[in-house]
Amino acid sequence: MVSAVPTPVKGDRSSTQGAPLRAWLQDITRASTSIFEGLAVTMSWMFRRPATIQYPDRIDKPVQEMLPDGYRGILEVDLLRCSGCMLCQRACPIDCLDIVVVKDPQTKGRFIERFDIDIGKCMYCGICSEACNFDALQHTTEFEGSATSLDDLLLHFATRPVPVSKHKAGQGPARRPQGSILREVIKPLYTRDKRTGVDHLAPAEAPPAPAKGDEE
Amino acid sequence: MNNLQGLADYAIRAWFSVPDPARWPYTWLVYLGFILLAGLIAVGFAAGFAGPMSFIERRIAGRMMSRIGPNRVGPQGIFQFIADGIKSLLKEDIVPAEADRPLFLLAPYLVFTGMFGTFVALPFAAHVIAADLDVGILWLLAIPSLVVVGLLMAGWGSNSKWAVFGGVRSAAQLVSYEIPSAFALLSVVLFAGTLSTQGIIAAQGPWPWEWFIFRNPLLFVTFFIFFISALAEGNRAPFDLPEAESELVSGYNVEYSGMRFVFFFFAEWANLWVMSALATTAFLGGWQVPGMPAVEIAAMTGWRFVGWEALSFLIFALKTSVLVFVVVQLRWTLPRLRVDQLMTTCWKYLVPLSLITLTGNLVLLALVPERGVVDWMMRGLMVLIAAALALRYLQRVRANYLADRENYRKMEGKELWYPPYRLP
């Protein structure tokens, strides 16, 4: 190989120029030793633990539990803490939240009639959950959102009208574990069998935790 | 009963009570039946090797890349190759509209035939060989050239730039590397004094110091020349330029689909066995069983004969498997060569080296009497050198492993040790 411009590279054979036989022998030596060393490196990997995590079934614990707290997975809303202020809907840059709050003309109570999150539209920016003052809307570490139908990506959290929560920020019923509400609502394939069948809109029985103004 | 014809004659005598098979009018029919049977067995062996090998190679590749590899189809994924085969079988067999149809359709079969033809003269065990040809080595050098024709036809017939490049590259590569590989085998032929593959094995012995590879320093070099040339002839990495994914998409087979595509890969993986078995035959003592000469096995009858034959096959298969593993490991160790580097390796390094070793071997053959003092000293020296190299290799593997063990434990909280027999 004769290149037009000789480029002096460290470890190049420029030092042996003018001695073709020596350069030739050096090439052979270098090739054999480097192949020998290379084989020793790859062989050592036969004895090392593979880095593969065998998602989804052959793992020690679910990936959802390995994810960090700040992970922005699929959104969920705890309607027992939601005040129906619609701050999140206003904050959402792509209108993936659809909230309808109605007023009962007799009791003057306000009800959340619809709280839909379109996870097909959501871009997981987290602005809505930051806007929420009541810790109601937040991201979970759930991420398995594949579904057989586009309609399944529209999550209906308000399966029946729920009275709005009237507690102040930092009070009210305890926030349920993240993901527990979403798993009852979501339809997509992989999370379906994780459902517990608990009605996520019913207030928890054991600790009643009735905030003062709660109706119903 | 040393070859297929002997077996057929024996069968004619035994089954049809014909005293002289040569004068019996239906002898050719029985011969034809035995040829078909031998062909079927050999195809069965090639398929039984190529299929699982495609799975094993992917598992080895996985471990070397810190992955696992296919492990979902069946226990540990051993049915992966069957799933792949069925998938390819069910796929549409597309012929491009602008392709040269007859050439395009014929090419995979030529490639396969070129690879499969070598099985005629390849020994398997002490007395298991399709035909112990007098010109065995010549046959083994000549018949793989059919692969070049097939690859060129595939490249040209596809009417695609990438395929043509792949075909032309493979032709240049195979034609070049046949020279050092032929010279390397010529040295062996000189020492053995025969071209027959069984004869070459018979000229060696069961113990390492009786193998041709350790007979003298030049034959040791010759082995590596042959091994590198065989790699290049088999289009194996790092010489897999004809199917360089990064530049030619997939080379000569880029336009193929379905079963025709599988034929190329079938030939490639079966070729792993062919080249390793050839290296084992020529340099590593073949099927020689320690403490049991082939003549004594031939004199045996019944199950004892079958048992010793099976043992000799196991020894042969073991040596071949070690070489196959090295070939696979090389593929995942070395990056692909450039075209000019490929040609440089052959014409500036391997051809002169093979000429030097051939001349040196001739001199040694003339000057050093076999089993004399000098001969034994050379053999002993070569075995010692090989043992030292093997020890050094193990030491380097261990050092590479130990270099990362502590860091891994600190970072992952787990032991790094995960030997190959522990299947994830």
Which amino acid would we find at residue B130? A
Domain count, chain A: 1
Q: Does the CB of A40 have a partner CB in chain B at under 8 Å?
A: yes
CB B409 within 8 A of CB B416: yes
Average pLDDT, rounded, for chain A? 79
**Is A12 inside a domain boundary?**
no
Question: For B349-362, what is the mean pLDDT?
Answer: 92
**Is A101 inside a domain boundary?**
yes
Determine, for residues B396 and A40 on separate chains, whether the beta-carbon distance falls below 8 Å: yes
Which of A28, A39, A47 is the closest to B333 by Cβ?
A39
> Going by C-beta distance under 8 Å and a sequence separation of 6 or more, which residues neighbour residue B64?
A42, A45, A46, B329, B332, B333
Q: Which residues are bridge partners to A156 per DSSP?
A: A116
Determine, for residues A40 and B418 on separate chains, whether the beta-carbon distance falls below 8 Å: no
Interatomic CA distance for residues A185 and A118, integer angstroms: 12
Q: Does the CB of A48 have a partner CB in chain B at under 8 Å?
A: yes
B61-102 pLDDT, tens digit each: 888 888 888 888 888 888 888 888 888 888 888 888 888 888
Q: Does the CB of A21 have a partner CB in chain B at under 8 Å?
A: no
A54-110 pLDDT, tens digit each: 887 778 888 888 888 888 988 888 888 888 888 888 999 998 999 998 888 888 888
B404-424 pLDDT, tens digit each: 888 888 888 788 888 887 777
Q: What is the pLDDT of residue A210?
A: 47
What's the CATH number where A119 sits? Answer: 3.30.70.3270
Which of B60, B334, B415 is the closest to A38 by Cβ?
B334
Residues of B in contact with A28 (CB under 8 A): 349, 353
Q: What is the pLDDT of residue B360?
A: 92
Which of B329, B340, B424 is the closest to A50 by Cβ?
B424
The whole domain housing A75 covers 63-169+180-201
Which of B332, B344, B417 is the closest to A47 by Cβ?
B417
Determine, for residues A54 and B424 on separate chains, whether the beta-carbon distance falls below 8 Å: yes
Residue of B nearest to A45 (CA): B64
Q: Does the CB of A2 have a partner CB in chain B at under 8 Å?
A: no
> What are the C-alpha distances in Å from B337 to residues A141, B238, B241?
46, 6, 7
Determine, for residues A42 and B333 on separate chains, whether the beta-carbon distance falls below 8 Å: yes
**Between these two residues, A26 and B302, which has the higher pLDDT value?**
A26
B280-324 pLDDT, tens digit each: 998 988 888 887 777 777 777 778 778 888 888 899 999 999 999
Q: What is the pLDDT of residue B292?
A: 76
Torsion sign across C-alpha atoms B364, B365, B367, B369: positive
DSSP summary character for residue A204: P
Determine, for residues A50 and B66 on separate chains, whether the beta-carbon distance falls below 8 Å: yes
Instruction: Report residue A207's pLDDT band, with 50, 70 and 90 as the boundaries.
Output: very low
Residues of B in contact with A38 (CB under 8 A): 333-334
Determine, for residues B349 and A43 on separate chains, whether the beta-carbon distance falls below 8 Å: no
Residue of B nearest to A52 (CA): B67
Which of B340, B412, B419 is the closest to A47 by Cβ?
B419
- Rounded to 5 degrees, φ, ψ at B231 are -55, -45
Instruction: Report residue B269's pLDDT band, with 50, 70 and 90 as the boundaries.
Output: confident
- pTM for the model stands at 0.80
Parallel, antiparallel, or unpaired: how do β-strands A137-139 and A75-77 relate? antiparallel
Interatomic CA distance for residues B411 and A168, integer angstroms: 44
**Structure token pair of residue A101:** 């709050």
Residues of A in contact with B329 (CB under 8 A): 39, 42-43
Determine, for residues A48 and B420 on separate chains, whether the beta-carbon distance falls below 8 Å: no
Q: What is the pLDDT of residue A192?
A: 54
* Domains of chain B, residue spans: 1-90, 98-389
Tell whether ipTM is more than 0.95: no
Interatomic CA distance for residues A113 and A98, integer angstroms: 10
Residues of B in contact with A50 (CB under 8 A): 62-63, 66-68, 418, 424
Residue of B nearest to A39 (CA): B333
